[in-house]
Structures are given as structure tokens and as C-alpha cells.
Amino acid sequence: MFDDLVLDLKARVHTAAIAAVWGSIAAVSVVAVLFFSCLGTFVWTSQHYGWVAASFVLGGFFLIAAVISSLAFVVVRRGDNPPTSPVPTASRAQWWLDPAVLTIGLQLGRSIGARRLIPVLLVGALGAGWIMSRSPATET
């Protein structure tokens, strides 16, 4: 039972690490493309129209980008999505009432002892509370 949880956690961490690496490479690439595009635009415009016009053109590009991103932020932030209805409690699986889980808990309690088991139970309760508080829409 715990082996599956550990393997799932390892797979998720591995996937997140790979996604973070590729995401950071993509972010650095986008910044480099933006920098060299702005540099090329500024140099070309300054050679043909002067420094003042080049500055206004580049400022205009950034103003347009700021307006578009602000509008996108407002649209995403407003998010007219209706709230998801909570899952009825009868359809949720109550895994802690499973006899196998109760037996494992009793065996752990007997083998570890009450003094050592209290911190483990507190950490487990915090983890279970965190998992239960997650909305069903965020699960994959």
C-alpha cells in the first residue's frame, strides 16, 4: 500500500523536476528572443529614423505588450467559472475505515509505542488534512 504511494510520489517529483528544467530553458529562450528582437528593432530604427524615434517605437511595443497582458490578466482573474459543487460525502471513499488500514495502525501502535507514535500521528493528520482540503478539480 505504501509502496504504491512512494512510487507515485517519486514519479510526480521526477516529472515536476523535468518540467521545471524544460520550463526554465524555455523561459530563458523567450527572454533571449525578446532581448535580441528589441535590440535589432532599436538598431534598425535608429539607423533609419534616429534615436528618438527608435526609443518611441520600442516604448510603443512595450506599451502594447503591457496593455495586452493586463487585459489577459483581468480576463483570467475575473474567471466567470461557476464554482464546482462539492462531492457528496457518501460517494467519497473512507479509506481509514478499511479493516486493513485499521489493522496496520494497531500494529504500528503496538510495535512503536505511544510516545513515539504521537508525532507520527500528528504529521499524518496534517498530511491527511491537506489532502482532504484539496479541491477535486486540482487532482490529476
Q: Considering the domain boundaries, does residue 2 fall inside one?
A: no
17 with 69, same domain: the answer is yes
Tell me whether residue 81 is in a domain: no
Instruction: State residue 32's pLDDT score.
Output: 92
Instruction: Specify the higher pLDDT residue, 82 or 57.
Output: 57
Global pTM value: 0.43
pLDDT digits (tens, 9 = 90+) for 27-77: 999 999 989 998 998 999 999 999 898 899 888 888 998 899 999 888 887
Question: Is 87 part of a structural domain of the chain?
Answer: no
CA distance 92 to 98: 13
Same domain, 18 and 56: yes
CA distance 27 to 30: 5
| 66 and 119 both lie in a single domain | no
Report if residue 14 sits inside a domain.
yes
Number of domains in the chain: 2
Q: Is residue 4 predicted with pLDDT exceeding 80? A: no
Q: Could you say which of 26, 47, 76 is where a domain stops?
A: 76
Say if residue 108 is in the same domain as residue 60: no
Q: Does 85 map to a domain?
A: no
User: How confident is the model over 103-127, as pLDDT tens digits?
Assistant: 887 787 788 777 777 787 778 887 7
Contacts of 106 (CB under 8 A, 6+ apart): none
> Which domain range does residue 54 map to?
8-76
